[in-house]
Structure 1
Amino acid sequence: MDKKIEKGTVIVTNEVIDYAEGGVVSKEFVRTNTGTLTLFAFDEGQGLSEHSAPFDATVQVIDGEAEIKIDGVAHTVKAGEMIIMPANHPHALFAHKRFKMLLTMIRG
């Protein structure tokens, strides 16, 4: 489901994108010089390899659950929960089960 994102309207984040079998789907809501807001859907077995960013990033899980490693420490984050990945610290994400998340990155 590829719904258009319109500012000033209510958005049901869990319905904006669907899962793709064996893949990762993303949809960017906002991109400015100061940050981004992106929705992701990870199918089971998918993930993002370890990397770091020069600014904090907040992951808000909206469906399912994710394994998020920060500095090698694994955290299970479930629907309705969030975690802040600190700037300049290595982190990675993995879907033992499929999950959707809203990623907020603010440069500063």
Structure 2
Amino acid sequence: MKKSSFSDQIEYNDDKIVTKVILETSFSKEIRIVLKRGQSMKEHKAPFPIIVHIIEGEIDFGVEGETNSLKKGDILTLDSNIPHDLTALTDSIVRLTLSSKDTASRVHKVIDK
């Protein structure tokens, strides 16, 4: 058994999005993405399917040019290689589930673009 928390040591940063791998298993990586209002991740693709869960706040989640408003508690899945982007409408915490075959460093590269 592994145990961790999405609520511990949350750090908002005015200059950049903050990510942290919260839990890693044999089948997934659970990543916390902390965004201040107005921060965004430009359009990108994931090489494997992902799950996005809004823990706190509201975001606009763009998928292939269509914007979807997501709020606390919303969860979605996205197949691999689908262009998507997101923008925080309020200070937000997002749970991103990646395949164990994917890398957290890929997420960091998207943020650093």
Work out whether the TM-score is over 0.5. yes
Post-superposition Cα deviations, 1:34-66, rounded to whole Å, max 9, x if no partner, equal: 432100110111111101112111110011011
Question: Gapped runs of 5+ residues in structure 1?
Answer: 1-5
Written as runs of structure 1 = structure 2, the 5 A alignment for 1:15-30 is 15-30=8-23
User: Is the 8 Å Cα contact of residues 23 and 29 (structure 2) preserved in structure 1?
Assistant: yes
Matching residue of 2:38: 45
Quote how far apart the aligned CAs of 1:32 are.
5.7
TM-score under structure 1 length normalisation: 0.80
Deviates more, 1:19-28 or 1:86-95: 19-28
Quote how far apart the aligned CAs of 1:71 are.
1.1
2:25 and 2:55 mapped to 1: Cα distance?
23
Sequence identity (%): 27
- In the alignment, residue 72 of structure 1 is paired with which amino acid? G
The structure richer in strand per residue is 1
Matching residue of 1:104: 97
| Alignment RMSD (CA, Å) | 2.3
TM-score under structure 2 length normalisation: 0.77
Matched, 1:55 2:48: yes
Q: How many residues align?
A: 101
- In the alignment, residue 55 of structure 1 is paired with which amino acid? F
- In the alignment, residue 48 of structure 1 is paired with which amino acid? M
